Chains A and B, each alone.
Chain A
């Protein structure tokens, strides 16, 4: 079994392998990028270092972050129970925090399984400059740590406008410490997601709801019928964008090149075929299909419209609720499975995580529960998470 982390130094920060680190091999968990050594670091990494963090190493991720928690990277061989690399290192106290890219919920699932915290912030608040991109319209750099206070500190260090990222929002910095007190807040448990979860997971959600009630938060179930459509829409958009983004890997300019070629076509096909796993290939092919003539309007265009409907629905929900609760995973443990079932398996679990990627809202995992709030309401999530953690003491 390989290690969770490729060590660089004795620092306190892990950086997942979809974030570029100058002079250190960065592969996004893919053979197609083997040997790729970036000439610059991701902006989020630069900012964390400037704020006093020191990079401990690169944590392994599943190829391009497409799988559940990194099971199809090269470190989980032989492990029956799946864990995310960065979350496990935090849980073991080997690093204080981690920067991770949330493309399809993998860091949120990993935090749930390891009992750590992770926040995917509002889209555009953390620079995406220097990440290895897949689905540019919904993926975000997020912060992970052992508790809410440390997670907040790391996010604050890396958030803020970056002129090098065309999707970066204008605010120079964000104050995450000004969330109002929980008493009097209203929280909704999303019925559709709660019902899909295992009994153990339901018990975790119920337990957290009790903690919130003890803090003076009123909690009730809320039905959100658009959840399943949101999941389909995100899968379609993510696949389409991934198809475009990984088209750049051709074995010519960087990364892996097949040794078996006689002409340029064999070089392209051999390098891409040998360099990417079946989950990535399936995603690319499906993304290519939904963008094709005859499918574009019924599928891709429809998904973009569903995105608006879902955004408006959640906008309405956040007029009533300060936050929404849901599981980030359907169960408390994932077991090793075969890659031929990966596409459907990951899709099945992405129902819990798709909405924040689809519409750019912040989502935080704490104590095994996923909290969501409206755009720029990270301060609310941190306040709730810190207060709930305080009830454990």
Chain B
């Protein structure tokens, strides 16, 4: 894993690391590179991927409008909010 690639992943995931943490993460990636190779010992030619471990089918609920929670209740959990909205820094100047 190159540092530049790690920087890209950090940016994608909105994260930052200290120097020590970077060394630890790069070490973990190097470790996993070796572990991933173990899967090469399993022949998966013509094997279908298994996303669900149990047989499942998507079931869609009726599209019925409801309001399980009030706006006030949802806002109460926010770190900062106005009377009727979540509050974030100004996005457009």
Contact status A264-B89, CB under 8 Å? yes
Chain A count of residues within 8 A CB distance of the other chain? 71
Contact status B53-A305, CB under 8 Å? no
Q: Does A360 contact B (CB under 8 A)?
A: yes
CB distance from B63 to the nearest CB of A (A): 15
Q: CB-defined interface of A275-316 with B at 8 Å, one 1/0 digit per residue? A: 010100110111011001000000101111111110100000
Residues of B23-51 contacting chain A, CB below 8 A? 23-25, 27-29, 31-32, 35-36, 38-39, 41-44, 47-51
Contact status A375-B42, CB under 8 Å? no
* Chain B positions near chain A (C-beta within 8 angstroms): 1, 5-6, 9-10, 12-17, 20-21, 23-25, 27-29, 31-32, 35-36, 38-39, 41-44, 47-54, 56, 58-59, 69, 73-74, 76-80, 86, 88-89, 91
Contact status B24-A282, CB under 8 Å? yes
Q: Interface SS of chain A: helix, strand, loop or mixed?
A: helix
Q: A137-B51, A229-B38, A340-B20 are in contact. List 13 more A-B contacts (CB 8 A).
A: A35-B77, A169-B54, A229-B42, A231-B38, A232-B35, A264-B91, A278-B21, A285-B9, A285-B10, A286-B29, A286-B32, A308-B49, A359-B53
CB distance from B36 to the nearest CB of A (A): 6
Residues of A50-83 contacting chain B, CB below 8 A? none
Contact A272-B49, Cβ < 8 Å, known A229-B39, A281-B25, A347-B35? no
CB distance from B62 to the nearest CB of A (A): 11
Q: Nearest CB to that of A169 among chain B residues?
A: B54
Contact status A252-B88, CB under 8 Å? yes
Cβ contact of B86, chosen from A122, A253, A273, cutoff 8 A: A253
CB distance from A60 to the nearest CB of B (A): 21
Q: CB-defined interface of A242-258 with B at 8 Å, one 1/0 digit per residue? A: 01000100111111110
Q: Does A391 contact B (CB under 8 A)?
A: no
CB distance from B27 to the nearest CB of A (A): 8
Q: Nearest CB to that of A302 among chain B residues?
A: B39
